[in-house]
Every structure is written in structure tokens, then in C-alpha cells.
Structure 1
Amino acid sequence: TLAWAVLTLWPGPATSAAPRRRAVLATLALAGTAGLAILPAALPLDPVPAGAATTVVAAIQGNVPRARASLADQVSDYQTVTQNHVAATDKLAQEVSDGKLPKPDLVIWPENSTEIDPTVYPPVYDQIASAAKAIGTPILVGANLQNPQRNAGVLWLPGTGPEPHYYVKRQLVPFGEYIPFRSIISKITSLTQLQPVDYTPGRSNYVFHLGQIRLGDVICYEVGFDNLVRSDVQDGANLLSMQTNDATFERDGQTGETGQQLAMARIRAVEHDRAVVVASTTGYSAIIAPDGQLITSSGTWQQAELEARVPLVSYTTLADRVGPWPEYVIVVLTVAALAYAAIRQQAGRRRTTPVN
């Protein structure tokens, strides 16, 4: 915006030097704007304390059937997805039992790893309970809860079952998890029946307490909203997770959406100096270090079990302390530049309008 304003509206005599001067000023404006954009990344990260506590975390990518299920086969398809995550967790448990891997302190399953509410459907409840028993570790399960319909992260404890408190997705996907202006749109098209019941959004964040772990969770594209992730850190989260299901976007071979989400998760790691566990049904899944580096990651359309030791950091970063104010300042400056440009342009037109 600043560069455009300089190039088009900067006053000056009509000389051969004027275009060159405008170009120089535009370059300076662009450089200044870019500097504001990259300043947070240029600032040194708070170093992870040498004596920081650590924990072993695991991400399970169970994979899903590649072909789209018909309405008649959806229940069977959902059961297969859950069973895939059980099988991958059992495989991880066997590797732990064989001494190939350390026992994780927490296992993360992705969004929609159970599309059927396990609290009301005993077979799914038993499947998850068996996986938790095999690994002997709490599992954060991505569950579709009913009555009302909610997209949730439910902590499942071995031998105990789901905790009564869980995280419910707050930022729902329009036309995916709810239909805005449903009553009006339904009069125009019947496609609203593809999402017959709107999901109910969560009202607040929830930080899970597991020993020394304070886990803050976001679901799918919530990772793109600054305030949602920041609220977990401000409430004491020393570890972050993102549960996601990108299968719908990847069935035609594209990976842009899941790659974008992974990049966002890496930005969140740097922004808050926290390790981030990304669990996806079909990939990419990853465990990310506080500096944004990938400790381990998976491909797409494959079953994977990821495990890594990560630091648990409790201090707040500059981004946490400043909050959204840099964004507000940039928006205000942009609006002011647009207004100034419009005023100058209008004034220029008046000067050049011939008088009869």
C-alpha cells in the first residue's frame, strides 16, 4: 500500500528525475514494509533453558480409505478409520515393549480419528480403551461427539476412559461444519443438506494437565488463528498440539492444504517457543521443535507412528507478551495510507480539471 501510494501520488515537478525519485522512494517503502513483516522472525528466540524439563510424545497417523464411501458404507468407513489408529497405536506399543522406543508420556490421535461418538457407541469405546491399555499412556483422541454435535479433543486415560473435561473446536469451518445463513440459503439450494446439522462451537480453550505436561490443543484450521493458540499459552500450556483431518483435500492428489497447515504449525512453534505435535489422519504429521525445525515427520496416505523427546517450556515470548498489537498497528497504518492516497488522488483530479 505504501509503495503504491508513493509511486502514484507523490507530488513533484514533471522532470526526467521524477520517475527515478519515485522508484527510489517506492523501494524504500517496500523495504520498510518488509522489515515490519520479518521483524518478529529476525528477533532472537528466547533460548530453551539448559535444565528445562522434557517429555516423550507420540503422534499417530492411522490413515483412512482412499476412496470416498457411499452414504450406506459410511459407518463401516468410520469404524475402519478408528481401527487403523488402534492398529498403529498397538504397533507403537509393541515397539515400546520390545525396547526399540521409549514409552511416550502422551499419544496424540488426529481429528476425526473416531467419527462415531465413543461415549454412546460401546464398540468404539472398547477399541480406544484397548489401544490406551496397550500403550499404557493417555491418548488425546479426535472425536466427533453428539447431542450436540461437536468436534472435540478428548483425553483418554488407560483403565479409566475419557476425562469429563475436553477441548471443543471453537473456530468452525463455514460450509464445512456449519452453514451460515442456513434458512436463507436453503431456499436457494438443497446442498445445505450435505451438512444437515450444524456443529456447536466450543466457548473457551482448555489446557490438559498430565503430570508435568500442560497441553494446549487446536483442531485443524484453528492453527491459523493467532488468538486461539495464544490463549493456550497464556493459560500455561508448555506443549501444543494440532489435530487435523486433511483426507478430503488430498483425495485428488493435492497436498497444498496439509502442507500449508504444517507450515502454520511451525510458525506457531517459533512464535510461542513451544514444541508442537501435529497429528493428521493422512499426513503430514510431525513433531516440531520450539525453533520450528521438524524433529520427525511423515508422508501422506500412509500409516505412521512418530515419537520424539521435546522440551516443556513455560516462559512467555515477546509475541505472547505483545499479543495482537503489531497486527493492529499495521492494519491502522494501511488504512491510513489508503485514505491518504484517496485524498491526494482526489485533490490531484481537482487541480487538473479544466475550468470553463
Structure 2
Amino acid sequence: MAAHLRLTGELAGRDPGVVVWDESSVALHPARRPDADRLLRRAAAEAGADLLVNVDAEDPSGRITKSTYQYASDGVVNTYVKQPLAPFGEYISLRPVLGWIAGHTEAAEKDRIAGAELVVFEGVGRRVGLLISYESTFPNLRRGLTGRGVDVTIMQGSLTTFHGSWAHAQQASFEALRAVESGRPAVLVELDGTSAAFDACGGRLA
């Protein structure tokens, strides 16, 4: 989180439309950590733009979700909770039977809770449809966002477990395909991987 705050601080005075952090960029739940909440508010104020950060931490009830928070200088504006979860990485199917796997691998020690609906983020200069990592493989989610009138889709990702493999380029290529399918520009923001942006025709912008 400290590295993300430092990089965000470098955007001060550059008039960004929105600042997007990658998947699992905040491992402290703001509802449990007022200090983290204050730092995120301050970062939004200093950048002069809303932040879209991704929280992967226990909330006050003890539940864990992969959630994107839209932070403005005065606090949280909107939230999206990831829907399709990655098997073993974010939950263990039939945990009473297969839970032993967590003791021998890096499988999820605690199941994440899935979200139930898509969210359109506004107040960031465009109507933004945001998805998280594994959701890039589900074209129905992109169609759902397009049906809600988004101007652009943004994907927050983290491929640290793939260690520079073919998976990095593959996920970026998904975004080019989804841009064509949806007729909307698509942006992929990766913690470890290939960050990329494509126009609505699938042309690579960055």
C-alpha cells in the first residue's frame, strides 16, 4: 500500500481523470483500519482525482471479499464486489472434503464471498464498468456493463502466481477481444503482468 500511495502522490498536479490501483492493492480493510481510510482519502485529495482501489481483507464481520472501492477526498463513493471467484485461489470447493489442500499449497485459507451485481462507477469523468482479474474470462459480465451504458471498462488484475508466463500476455489479449465484443475501450491494470489499453475496435493504445 505504501508503494501505491507513493506512486499516486507522483500524479499530483498532472490532472488525472481517475487513479486505478490493481487487484489486492489494499490488504487492510478500511472499516477496520481508520488509518488506512485516512491515507486513501488524503491520496485522492492530493491526486485531485478519485481512486479505484482493490481491498482483499477481512471486514468487521470477519468476511473477506475482493472489493473495489471508489475513494474521493471525503471517503468511499461506491463499491463493487467480485462475482465469479477463482477456484482454490479465492475459495476451495467442497472445503470439508478438500480443505486439506490449503495446508500443502497456497490455496485460499479462507473462502472469499462472491458479489451479486455489477456496478457502474460515476464521477470519474466517464461511466466506468469495473471488473476484477478472473472476471475477464466471462464475456457476459462485459455485456452486462455495456447494457448499463458504460463508456469504458477497467479490469484490475494481479498475476503474481504466474511468474512471467504466457498467462500475462493472454489476459491482455482478452481485453482486446472484450473491447471488440462490447464496443467499449478496455483498460487492464496489473500488479504483476501486462498492463494495457485498447480502443473500442481492439486497437492497442498502450
Distance in 2 (CA, whole Å) between partners of 1:244 and 1:117 is 19
Distance in 1 (CA, whole Å) between partners of 2:155 and 2:68 is 10
Could you tell me how far 1:291 is from its partner in structure 2? 1.6
Distance in 2 (CA, whole Å) between partners of 1:282 and 1:186 is 28
Structure 1 runs not aligned, ≥5 long: 1-81, 97-102, 297-356
Does the 8 Å contact 2:187/2:196 carry over to 1? yes
What fraction of aligned residue pairs are identical, expressed as a percent?
A: 30
Does the 8 Å contact 2:8/2:43 carry over to 1? yes
Partner of 1:182: 95
Q: Does 1:265 align with 2:175?
A: yes
Q: Does 1:217 align with 2:127?
A: no
Q: Does 1:90 align with 2:4?
A: no
Distance 1:211 1:118, change over 3 A: closer
Does the 8 Å contact 2:91/2:107 carry over to 1? no
Distance in 2 (CA, whole Å) between partners of 1:141 and 1:188 is 30
Alpha-carbon displacement from aligned partner over 1:125-180 (angstroms, at most 9, x marks no partner): 2332222111111111111242320001110012x1112x4110001000110000
Structure 2 runs not aligned, ≥5 long: none
Alpha-carbon displacement from aligned partner over 1:168-205 (angstroms, at most 9, x marks no partner): 00010001100001111236884489522100000111
Distance 1:289 1:134, change over 3 A: same
Distance 1:211 1:87, change over 3 A: closer
Distance 1:189 1:278, change over 3 A: closer
Distance in 2 (CA, whole Å) between partners of 1:132 and 1:189 is 37
Letter in 2 for 1:161: G
Distance in 1 (CA, whole Å) between partners of 2:100 and 2:126 is 49
Could you tell me how far 1:277 is from its partner in structure 2? 1.8
Distance in 2 (CA, whole Å) between partners of 1:189 and 1:91 is 39
Letter in 2 for 1:93: A
Distance in 2 (CA, whole Å) between partners of 1:138 and 1:239 is 16
Q: Does 1:277 align with 2:187?
A: yes
Distance in 1 (CA, whole Å) between partners of 2:92 and 2:79 is 24
Letter in 2 for 1:259: A
Distance 1:193 1:83, change over 3 A: closer
Distance in 2 (CA, whole Å) between partners of 1:221 and 1:189 is 20
Distance in 1 (CA, whole Å) between partners of 2:129 and 2:171 is 17
* Match among 19, 33, 41 for residue 121 of structure 1: 33
Partner of 1:227: 140
Distance 1:269 1:189, change over 3 A: closer
Quick check: which one's helix share is greater?
1
Does the 8 Å contact 2:146/2:182 carry over to 1? yes
Q: Does 1:289 align with 2:199?
A: yes
Letter in 2 for 1:151: K
Alpha-carbon displacement from aligned partner over 1:191-238 (angstroms, at most 9, x marks no partner): 489522100000111111226521111100111111111111111111
TM-score relative to the length of structure 1:
0.54
Distance 1:120 1:205, change over 3 A: same
Q: SS of the counterpart of 2:11? A: helix
Partner of 1:99: none
Could you tell me how far 1:276 is from its partner in structure 2? 1.4
Distance in 1 (CA, whole Å) between partners of 2:162 and 2:19 is 25
Partner of 1:208: 121
Does the 8 Å contact 2:101/2:107 carry over to 1? no
Distance 1:180 1:274, change over 3 A: same
Listed as ranges, the matches of 1:10-25 within 5 Å are none
Listed as ranges, the matches of 1:28-177 within 5 Å are 82-94=1-13, 96=14, 103-145=15-57, 146=59, 147-158=62-73, 160-163=74-77, 165-177=78-90
Distance 1:211 1:117, change over 3 A: closer
Distance in 2 (CA, whole Å) between partners of 1:188 and 1:241 is 33
Does the 8 Å contact 1:186/1:192 carry over to 2? no
Does the 8 Å contact 1:116/1:143 carry over to 2? yes
